[in-house]
Structure 1
Amino acid sequence: MTTPLTLGTDQAHARLHELTVIDVRTPGEYASGHLPGALNIPLDRIRRALPEIRHAAVRGEVLLVCASGARSENAGRVLAEHGVPTATLAGGTHAWAAAGHDLRRPAVRDTRAGWSMERQVRFTAGTAVLLGLLLGLLVHPAFQVLSAGVAGGLVLSALTDTCGMALLLARLPHNRPRPADLAATLAALRRH
C-alpha cells in the first residue's frame, strides 16, 4: 500500500503541467470552478475508474482535488489500497483560489446550475431541523426527534470528518454525472 502525498497550492501550481489532476467533487461543484486541466471523477465513482487512474499513475503523478481536501484524502486512501500512488491538494480548491490561482469554469451552456456540496448539506440539514421543530409544535412532539437526529448527525460528521448526508445528496440526479460524462472523462484520462 502506498502513502498518499500532500502538495501545497504553490507546489501544485508550479507542477500543474506535469500532473494528471482528478477532481473528486460532484459535477455541479466541479462546474462551479476547478483546477485547469482537471478531470471530474466523483468520489463515489473512483473504484469504477480505477483501471484508468492506475494507467495515468504509471505515466506520471496523479493529483486528487476536492473543495477542502477531505474527499480527495478519502479517494487517495481508496487508491492507495489498490497500489495506486497519488497526491492530494492541501486545502482543496478553496485554498487554491485563496492563493490567487485561477479556477476554470465550463462555458455557461455546459453547466447545470448547482450548489456546492457544503451548501447543499447546510440547506438540507437546516430544512430538516426546521421541519422537525415545526411538526413537533403543530402535529406531535415526537417529530422533534428529526431535529435531534440531524443535530447528532452533524456532530458525528464533525468528529469523524465524514458526512453521510453529503454521500446521500451526491446520489441525487443533479449531482450525478451523466453516463456519457464519466465515459468521456475516462477516455480523456486514458489519453492524458
Structure 2
Amino acid sequence: MSNPAILDSAALRQLMDSSDAPRVIDVRTPGEFETSHIPGSYNVPLDLLREHRAELRGHLDEQVVLICRSGQRSDLAAQALAEAGLPNLRVLQGGITAWQSAGGPIAHGQPRWELERQVRLIAGSIVLVSVLASTVVPGAEWVAAAIGGGLTFAALSNTCAMGMVLSKLPYNRGPRTEIRTVVNALAADRA
C-alpha cells in the first residue's frame, strides 16, 4: 500500500470550506466521537470500518479524510480502505488533537477520558501496586516488568492491546454505531 496523503489542520479546514469538501471519517470509538468531533464528520469506528470496508467503499468514492485522536488509527483505517481499492485517502496529521490545537471547530458532547489517558492510568496503577506489593510479596515486581514490556511492544508495533480492551468497555463504547446507520447517512448526504 502506498502511504496516504497527510493533511495538516489548516489544509483540511480549507478543503472543508471548498465546494468539493471531502468526507471526514472519524475512526475513534463512539464514546470518543460523542465527547468531541469535527462537525459534519462521520463516526466509523476502526473495527467496524475494517469489517465493512468493501461495503463502505461503495459510498466513499470521492475524497476521504480519516481522523482519530493522533493519527495511529487513521493510518490503520487508510490501509484497510486502500486494500478495498479506495483512492484519494488522506489522514489528518496529529488527529483531532491537532485540529483542536489549531482552533478548528469542535462539536462537544458527554465528556470522557481519552483512551490514551485511561491506558496511562491503568498501566501506571498496575506498575505502582506491583512495585509496592513486591516489598511484601517476592516476585510481584515482575508484573511491573510485564507491563513495561507490553508498553514497549505497543510503541514498537504501533498497537496497544490494553487500549483495544479498554475501548470495549461500556464507558468507552458510547452509543452503538451500526453499519446501516453509517451507510444511510453517507447515502443521504450524497443525495
TM-score range, shorter chain: 0.7 to 0.9
* Structure 1 stretches of at least 4 aligned residues deviating more than 3 Å after TM superposition: 177-183
Which residue among 90, 96, 102 is the counterpart of 2:93? 90
Amino acid at match of 1:190: A
In structure 2, the residue matched to 1:36 is 39
Q: Secondary structure at the match of 2:24?
A: strand
Unaligned runs of 5+ in 1: none
* Higher helix fraction (1 or 2): 1
The number of residues matched between the two structures is 185
Shift of 1:78: 1.2
In structure 1, the residue matched to 2:8 is 8
Residues 18-40 of structure 1, C-alpha deviation per residue, up to 9 Å, x if partnerless?
11111111122212221111111
Q: TM-score, normalised by structure 1?
A: 0.86
Residues 64-84 of structure 1, C-alpha deviation per residue, up to 9 Å, x if partnerless?
101111110111011111112
In structure 1, the residue matched to 2:159 is 162
Amino acid at match of 1:71: R
- Distance (Å, rounded) in 2 between the aligned partners of 1:103 and 1:191: 22
Which residue among 79, 90, 109 is the counterpart of 1:77? 79
Residues 9-54 of structure 1, C-alpha deviation per residue, up to 9 Å, x if partnerless?
1111111251111111112221222111111111122123324431
In structure 2, the residue matched to 1:120 is 118
- Distance (Å, rounded) in 2 between the aligned partners of 1:162 and 1:71: 9
Q: Is the 8 A contact 1:52 1:189 kept in 2?
A: no
Q: Is the 8 A contact 2:34 2:174 kept in 1?
A: no
Q: Is the 8 A contact 1:31 1:105 kept in 2?
A: yes
Residues 74-96 of structure 1, C-alpha deviation per residue, up to 9 Å, x if partnerless?
11011111112321101111111
Structure 1 vs Structure 2 CA RMSD:
2.0
In structure 2, the residue matched to 1:68 is 70
Q: Which moved more, 1:60-69 or 1:127-136?
A: 127-136
- Distance (Å, rounded) in 2 between the aligned partners of 1:88 and 1:144: 40
Q: Is the 8 A contact 1:65 1:88 kept in 2?
A: yes
- Distance (Å, rounded) in 2 between the aligned partners of 1:84 and 1:186: 16
% identity of equivalent residues:
38
Shift of 1:163: 1.6
Amino acid at match of 1:23: D
